[in-house]
Structure 1
Amino acid sequence: MPSRDPIDVWRRPERSGVGPKPEHSRAGIAAAAIDIADRDGLAAVSIRRVAAGVGAGAASLYRYLKSHDELIELIVDTVSGEYDLDPSDEPPPIQLLNLARQGRAIMHRHPWLAPLLLTRPSMGPNALGYLEHALSALETLDMPGPAKLQTVAMITAITSAFVQNELAAANSSGTGPGAANVRLQYLSDVVQSGKYPLLAGAITGQQDPERPEEVFTSVITSYLAGAGLPVAAGSA
């Protein structure tokens, strides 16, 4: 039997016009699944656990979702609804930078999200609303449609990769000052050994470490400049 495409969930009405009134909603099911993912990781999200979270039997949940993949599609789209998509008069690069900053914050609230946005982005109403909003920021620019889509997709990809790196660093080294000091001391010892002169020169010329927010802004603005969308100095 061929596997179902998870976007099939959007092809079906949430509520059928026949039969008894549904006891649950997609919003309630998604909220339960997101709560599990935020606390215990994406691997902990199962039909059985989500069903228990909404007070239903696992079998009954299949009246709302046809597969686990549809459940994942549902939660990715649900958190995509956390963007503020109010109209803006800012220049296009600033609008895209602000969306990237929002995306980074959302991915930190939901640490399981970043890898999914690279491998299985949602095609639900919230995700498509985000895409439409991002494209509206580029509407007046003389760029082909595919180039606009690529620009938006690259911003999402860069943000996802940046957040995954942040989360991996936090998990491997801890988040307290003690862990950071240990790593700095190790790096200092390595540099003073004389074995890595190029690294020593680069570090010696480095200014005080930037905050992650500043690094992220620099990464996104550098990409936008390369895409022909430079951010005006002082406006970021």
Structure 2
Amino acid sequence: MPAHDPIDVWRRPERSVVGPKPEHSRAGIAAAAIDIADRDGLTAVSIRRVAAGIGAGAASLYRYVKSHDELIELIVDTVSGEYDLAPSKETPPIQLLNLARQGRVIMHRHPWLAPLLLTRPAMGPNSLRYLEQALSVLEAVDMPGPAKLQTVAMMTAITSAFVQNELASVHSSGAGLGGANARLQYLSDVVLSGNYPLLAAALTGQHEPEKPEHVFTAVITNYLAGAGLPAAAGSA
């Protein structure tokens, strides 16, 4: 493993058994970094700015995280601790659907998170607890271990992609009513043109747009069914 691998942060104890008591903590550092990312985006998160946020010098922050990548690893794992992993008696597909729904909420709360989860799997303790919980849901399902891991990973990837599309739609169309009306008018023109009969047929009869949470439920439910789990009946 290369020395600069960001998961090295989990291979080191947070507090050394020797030397003076640390002035700061990983939790405090992560909280400051998350606050910056939530307000100004992930590109605004730097060692120097996070250090200023906790009242420390940039050089001193390297006592806690050895690189910017370690800092990102820390904040991804911290927000992974926002899942409610309490045991449930629901069926496996409904339990997984509920985890996916929580993931969607967390990714909306932290808009910088969804792209990261598509490119770098988190390996910290909160992330591993989430994975362990998801695998425990699948424990009784007749599926090889690697397939279970792939099912959970794909569910996360689908959720991440869905949230990115939601966020992009808000930004591209404008959050106001004017942007939404313009898009509806454009779709009307497309349907009436006759150039896209299959699209027109798919849109016909849809009196009002489906709510995003209903679309998300259908997407995850259909994926889980395709992955070999029964449909999450009653999950709408």
Matching residue's letter, 1:29 = I
Moved more, 50-59 or 226-235: 226-235
Correspondence for 2:57: 57
Q: What is the CA-CA distance between 1:90 and the residue it aligns to?
A: 0.7
Q: What is the CA-CA distance between 1:3 and the residue it aligns to?
A: 5.6
Distance across 2 between alignment mates of 1:134 and 1:179: 39
Distance across 2 between alignment mates of 1:197 and 1:143: 41
Distance across 1 between alignment mates of 2:144 and 2:176: 47
Distance across 1 between alignment mates of 2:65 and 2:198: 56
Mapping of 1:1-236 within 5 angstroms?
4-236=4-236
Distance across 2 between alignment mates of 1:201 and 1:143: 38
Distance across 2 between alignment mates of 1:121 and 1:211: 29
Distance across 2 between alignment mates of 1:235 and 1:218: 9
Matching residue's letter, 1:184 = L
Moved more, 131-140 or 199-208: 199-208
Q: What is the CA-CA distance between 1:229 and the residue it aligns to?
A: 0.8
Could you list the structure 1 runs, at least 4 aligned residues long, displaced by more than 6 angstroms after superposition. Answer: none
Give deviations 1:156-184, integer Å, cap 9, x for gaps. 00000000000111111112222101111
Q: What TM-score, normalized to structure 2?
A: 0.96
Moved more, 143-152 or 183-192: 183-192
Distance across 2 between alignment mates of 1:124 and 1:232: 30
Q: What is the CA-CA distance between 1:234 and the residue it aligns to?
A: 2.3
Question: Residues 207 and 146 of structure 1: is their aligned pair in 2 closer, same or farther, counting only changes over 3 Å?
Answer: farther
Matching residue's letter, 1:201 = A
Q: What is the CA-CA distance between 1:207 and the residue it aligns to?
A: 4.8
What is the root-mean-square deviation in Å for CA atoms of aligned residues? 1.3
Distance across 1 between alignment mates of 2:198 and 2:21: 69
Distance across 1 between alignment mates of 2:91 and 2:11: 36
* Contact 2:221 2:232 survives alignment (8 Å): no
* Contact 1:76 1:121 survives alignment (8 Å): no
* Contact 1:151 1:227 survives alignment (8 Å): yes
Matching residue's letter, 1:70 = E
Matching residue's letter, 2:45 = V
Question: Residues 232 and 38 of structure 1: is their aligned pair in 2 closer, same or farther, counting only changes over 3 Å?
Answer: closer
* Contact 2:36 2:44 survives alignment (8 Å): yes
* Contact 1:30 1:74 survives alignment (8 Å): yes
**Secondary structure class of the residue paired with 1:7:** helix
Unaligned ranges ≥5, structure 1: none
Q: Percent identity?
A: 85
Matching residue's letter, 1:210 = E
Distance across 2 between alignment mates of 1:84 and 1:235: 18
* Contact 1:117 1:157 survives alignment (8 Å): yes
